[in-house]
Amino acid sequence: MSANHDGRVVVVTGAGRGLGRAHALAFAAEGARVVVNDLGVGLDGTPGSDGSPAAHVVDEIREAGGEAVAHAGDVATTEGAASLVARALETYGRLDTLVNNAGFLRDRMLVNLGEDDWDAVVRVHLTGHFLPLRHAAAHWRAEARAGRTPVARIVNTSSGAGLLGSVGQGNYSAAKAGIVGLTLVAAAELARYGVQVNAVAPAARTRMTERTFAATMAAPGQGFDAMAPENVSPLVVWLGSAASEGVTGRVFEAEAGRITVMEGWRPGPTADRGARWTPAQAGEAALELLARSEPPGAVYGAADTP
């Protein structure tokens, strides 16, 4: 089950800081040659003061004896996504794994959420997953059709906010839920070309969550920072490796030392009248079915959230 990446080329988007940086370093430690993408924007997507976070991570990898190259394009544009895949192919001659991770936040309650803030967050998270996936998949399809079926992997980044919802994050929650849907479709469509597609819903301390997750130690004696982003990377590295053969179309939560397979929408209690319902009948049936169903998880930040 080794996640050795010797000879493999891995692209990680949003890899200048936080989870992406941790993933890039972890892949490099396993022998991967890494394309480190980061646009260098601030927490809300506006131009940042650090214009080259990707280059800093590349320096870290090279100083540790690894191979890496930076890419500073906007992966939520066709040009940026295409040039990202091209950077891997032109530099290293191949592409094996794509980790989609880029994103930022513009939190607002729904009644205060402007269209620009909605569009910006959906664009970076959802379009910023779709376009790199699309261009990488086109390359792998061409390889498969040429008789060189790849052992290719895509790891997408969703969130608990996308699985359960999060108060004050309607735009982010919607985008992260969309990433789960995209993952399921991509896994089904791309399997014939040797591509596996999975998603992780991480909980870790990054720029986006540092006010939520302070430096927190795990249980006594475990001796590690439970909310460090490095705790999520081992699962991502394994999913991005040849060792994950046969695992596709799945969503995992990863936090501290815990990994959970998430089980999504599937049929629960059902009633079939065999004819059209009246509104009153439909309501009675719905209430009866709800009484027999599992209650949904609490929305993050809701009043009844523990």
Res 217: pLDDT: 47
Q: Which domains does the chain have, with CATH numbers?
A: 9-262 (3.40.50.720), 270-306 (no CATH)
Res 226: pLDDT: 84
The model's pLDDT over 132-170, given as tens digits with 9 standing for 90+, comes to 999 999 999 999 999 999 999 999 999 999 999 999 999
Res 143: pLDDT: 98
Q: Which residues are catalytic?
A: 159, 172, 176
Give dist(CA 37, CA 73) in Å, integer.
7
Res 49: pLDDT: 53
Q: What is the pTM of this model?
A: 0.90
Res 1: pLDDT: 59
Other CB atoms within 10 A of residue 265 CB: 6
Res 214: pLDDT: 47
Res 52: pLDDT: 84
Res 215: pLDDT: 46
State the amino acid at position 184 in one-letter form: L
Please identify which residue in the block is written with the tokens 């991570």. 57
Question: What tokens does 306 get?
Answer: 């523990």
Res 303: pLDDT: 72
Res 213: pLDDT: 46
CB 129 within 8 A of CB 40: no
CB 166 within 8 A of CB 298: no
Other CB atoms within 10 A of residue 41 CB: 19
| Positions of the chain with pLDDT under 70 | 1-2, 42-51, 206-223, 304-306
Residues in the chain: 306
